[in-house]
Amino acid sequence: MKRVITYGTYDLLHYGHINLLQRARALGDYLIVALSTDEFNWNSKQKKCYFSYEKRKKMLEALRCVDLVIPENNWEQKTEDVQLYKVDTFVMGDDWKGKFDFLKDQCEVVYLPRTPEISTTQIKADLKS
Ligand code: C2G
């Protein structure tokens, strides 16, 4: 079984996220999503989530392409996660291109093109206008 992992906040889940998750899942047989906790988002990513971790987790778990959701508590856990979950492929959108190449000695590292026209920032801006 080929195991894939990806990381993110996934707040205001939108079709750009879904595109990424479906492509990530298609690279293997089992997709793990390491979901940024509220604390990690606030303390390390300066992101205030609209939906709590539990609500974001529930939405991701409802997706057919997602097999497991685990917490992302810090930037440093990726190496351990890849070992612990026996990950074959690490996937991120290409806005992160190159940032996680240090994992290449543990697993395949794949950066997928982002869905260009959609972002949570854009959604919030559109709702204000
Ligand atoms: N994404 C995408 N297309 C978009 C928006 C996002 O493909 N229009 C991808 C991102 O590239 C990322 C994933 O969807 O791979 C989740 O995006 P975010 O929730 O914004 O995640 P981010 O804040 O980048 O956190 O340790 C890594 C971080 O947790 C990544």
pLDDT in tens, 67-115: 999 999 999 999 999 999 999 999 999 999 999 999 999 999 999 999 9
Determine the average pLDDT of the residues in 33-38. Answer: 98
Handedness of CA 78, 63, 66, 113 (dihedral sign): negative
Binned at pLDDT 50, 70 and 90, residue 12 comes out as very high
3-state secondary structure of 96: helix
Residue whose Cα lies nearest atom 10 of ligand 1: it is: 93
Q: Mention every residue, 6+ apart, whose C-beta is less than 8 A from residue 67.
A: 25, 30, 31, 32
pLDDT of residue 39: 97
Q: Mention every residue, 6+ apart, whose C-beta is less than 8 A from residue 108.
A: 88, 89, 90
Binned at pLDDT 50, 70 and 90, residue 65 comes out as very high
Determine the average pLDDT of the residues in 32-61. Answer: 96
Q: How far is the CA of 4 from the centre of ligand 1 (A)?
A: 15
pLDDT of residue 59: 98
3-state secondary structure of 74: coil
DSSP-assigned letter for residue 120: H
Does the CB atom of residue 20 touch ligand 1 within 6 A? yes
Decide if 66 contacts 60 (C-beta within 8 A).
yes
pLDDT of residue 28: 98
The rounded mean pLDDT for the chain is 97
Does the CB atom of residue 115 touch ligand 1 within 6 A? yes
Above pLDDT 70, what percent of the chain?
100
Global pTM reads 0.96
